[in-house]
Structure formats: structure tokens, C-alpha cells
Amino acid sequence: MQTQSPIKELKKALRLEALARRDALSADYRSNASLQLATHGLSGISLQPGEIVSGFWPIRSEVDLRPLLFALRDKGARLCLPVIIDKQTIIFRELTQDAPMIETGFGTSGPPDDAPVVDPSFMLVPLAAFDERGHRIGYGAGYYDRAIARLLALGANPTLLGVAFDCQKVEIVPDEPHDVPLEAILTESGLRSFGSIDKAN
């Protein structure tokens, strides 16, 4: 039986601890914090008209991104959501105002099969834990790592903005060569930027 590397074991432990802290937040706190996060996001994010922004529908105790996503759409953004198509891959389908939401696997919801597949240039990235350097720990399946790698291989350079609650911060995320750091983290206490996220300039 193959054992995990020490880095992967540490990431797993940090992931479980951060998610336990997130799960312990009250529903009222998560709701209010999601609205605060949307306010900070709207004041700190600049987008070009028609820019394609990927978000996610909340599952379990995740941040509820819907207030921010709908506000960005009102400002001219095109929205898309991730859809799991096999055990290795997610694609992004456009979310239009009149489209129904369907179950898309692992408790997630997204646009239906006939929705256009798009490549986002601005990604609101879910995560389990993050540090002040902009490194993230995902949920362990590697979907976003592979999606980001695919976009980079196509020559795209999407802005990567992690979204989480403050309680998911850890002292340091052990990073590996394939890890792509985030350009910013958005939480209920504000926007921490590690580079430029102003795509309009």
C-alpha cells in the first residue's frame, strides 16, 4: 500500500482542521459574512465589460457567493459555474438568468447540459485553507488544479481569487511545484491582494 508524502499528509491535516472550523460557524454568521464578503468584493474587483467570471454554488458550509455573483452580473460580467464531467475534469458552463439549475455531482449544482461551455478569465476559487502568501489547499480531488493548468496550457492567464471565511486561514500552506498561487483572497474581513486583480487597466 502506497503511503502519502509528508506534504500531502500535512495538507490533509490542515484541510480537516480548517474545514472543522468552518463547519462550526453558525448559519447566521455564514450568511452575514457572505454579505460582507460580497461588499468587499464589489469595491475591490474591477472587471472589463463582458468578462467571464467563474464562481460556485455553495455546498455544505461554504461561503455563499451568490450575492457577489449576481452583483457582478449586474455590472456586466458573464457568469459561469464548474461542472464535473468525469473523475478528473471540470468544465465551466455559462450561467444565464433564465437557465434552470441541475444537480452536477458531489452535491453541486450548475447550468444544464445545453449551456455554453466557456473559459473564465477571472476565477473565484473555492478552497479549504489558505495562508498569507496566497497559497491554497483545495478539497483534495485536484479539479481546480487541473482546470487552471488546462487554461494556462491554452495560453489563458486567468486571475485567481480565492474565497473563504477568515477562520480558514492557516499559518503556512506547504506548497508543491505544481501549485499555482492565488492573486488575492477574499474573506468577510476584506480583500488581501498578492498582485494585481484589476483586469480593466
Q: Where are the domains of the chain?
A: 6-193
Tens digits of per-residue pLDDT, 73-108? 999 999 999 998 888 889 999 999 888 898 877 778
Q: What's the predicted TM-score (pTM) here?
A: 0.91
Residues of the chain with pLDDT under 50: 1, 196-201
Query: Residue 108 has what pLDDT?
Result: 82
How many other β-carbons are positioned within 10 Å of the β-carbon of residue 41?
Answer: 23
Query: Residue 5 has what pLDDT?
Result: 83
* Radius of gyration, CA atoms only, the chain: 16
19 phi/psi in degrees, rounded to 5: -70, -35
Q: How far apart are CA 134 and CA 192, in angstroms?
A: 9
CATH top-level class of 6-193 = alpha beta
Sign of the four-CA dihedral 85, 94, 145, 29 = negative
Query: Residue 103 has what pLDDT?
Result: 86
Q: How far apart are CA 69 and CA 57, in angstroms?
A: 10
Q: How far apart are CA 185 and CA 60, in angstroms?
A: 20
Query: Residue 195 has what pLDDT?
Result: 63
